[in-house]
Structure 1
Amino acid sequence: MLSTRADELEELGMIWDTADAQFQENLAAARAYYAEAGTLAAPRHATMLDKPVGQWLTNLRRPGGLGKDPERAARRAEQLAAIDPDWNPGQLGWTVDWQRHYVGLCAVLEAGGTLEELLPGVTYRGDDIGRWLARQQRDWARLNTEQQRRLGVLGVKPAVRPQKATVRTSAKAGAAKGSDAFTRGVAALTQYIRREARTVVPRGHTEVVDGTPVRLGVWLSNIKNRRDRLSEQQLAALAQLGLDWA
């Protein structure tokens, strides 16, 4: 009898647990967000269905965020995992930001993009996937085994670091080394100008050329400060790229 009355009340919209009702509303927003973004690694400011889904998910990932009741917490975790198995990347050993960029990389590749085309500046849903990819290749040794495996499946490999040449004391060897650095810098600057259509480079910007990161902003600042030591050929190369000071 009591069960029948409870069913009748629920049909009329009776809510027995407001906390669970609110969770289900937010869960519906999270489901809609996943359908659009392909991940629950939402930035904190993300909203969906007029719900602050990004902040809500952030709160859930915190210790005790799923509630004090173990059974309820386990049930909620299962519901979130049913939407996105990687909804809480901290349990896997990486950040929400890493997870979101990884999903962005997968989406770009699935859309027909290639790793060679993913240079810094290529974005997906506002995230610079190209810059992130270059950082993963550069800092490959810092990634955990599962991160390396996931990226490896996509064809990502660690950046090839140039071998350090044997130190020579001759001025000729030093000049050759400086010439190589200049050549790499010009190649990086050329690539940057073609993509960005401008010669102003942020000091902290790193450009990846043939898998090798070049600290282009620092290089350009240094080369400008010692332009009086550059050869006529080097100055001409820079002037041809549109650098007025050369």
Structure 2
Amino acid sequence: MKIEKILLLLMFIAFALYGCGGGGGGSAPTGTTGGTPTDTSIDFSLFPADYFTSYNVSADLTGNDNKGSTITGRITEQLQAQTTFMGAAALPVVAQTQFTASNGGFAAATVTSYFSTDASSRKFLGVSGDVVTASSSSTFVIPQTANIGDSGVMGTYTDNAGFVTSVTWRLEDGLNGNAKLVILNLTMNNAVVDNTLTSTYLIQPDGTRLSVEIVTLNVNVSLIVTLRGTY
């Protein structure tokens, strides 16, 4: 895989890791093929319990692309002290990423995600980093909890190259008392789809992440990448 393609992957993952944490070691799927449907009345937390207080994790992802390369990566995320982003008070989470392809390609990047400080009306404000910087043109409150079947919009974000990304979320049945938090990023370039990214997290009611699957599609380079990990 060429370095440029891995850099594109890092840019996509910057949005994928908006606040759900990276995947842990291994390559387990994000759900089960059988089990008991989860009660739709259960409230599921959409963030880990310590995300806005003391979050500090390191995680591994493994997968492949449609060009025949195996990809391995590592992500370290840590909450930083309150700051400002685009003139607004914000809680920053710094994510350091490294990815290696089986044919020798390598890339690394640091991306900071910014969230509003009000826990009762939490919003994702945007990201800054050495691969991409994107700020919101519109944002919506991310609920603290949700039920299976719920969905919503996080916002629309414009990066430093003029690409516009809309981010939505939905909660699906994860079976056996769990749920799947699915985050879809759709990025447009001059009103034409450039890439999509779907992140699926298997979660428990308290927000604990059990596993993750990230699937990216970049139209211009015909690249599909699938990464999986367990916590």
TM-score (norm 2): 0.18
Which structure would you say has the larger Rg? 1
Report the structure, 1 or 2, having the larger strand content: 2
More contact order relative to length (CA 8 Å, sep ≥ 6): 2
TM-score (norm 1): 0.17
Report the structure, 1 or 2, having the larger helix content: 1
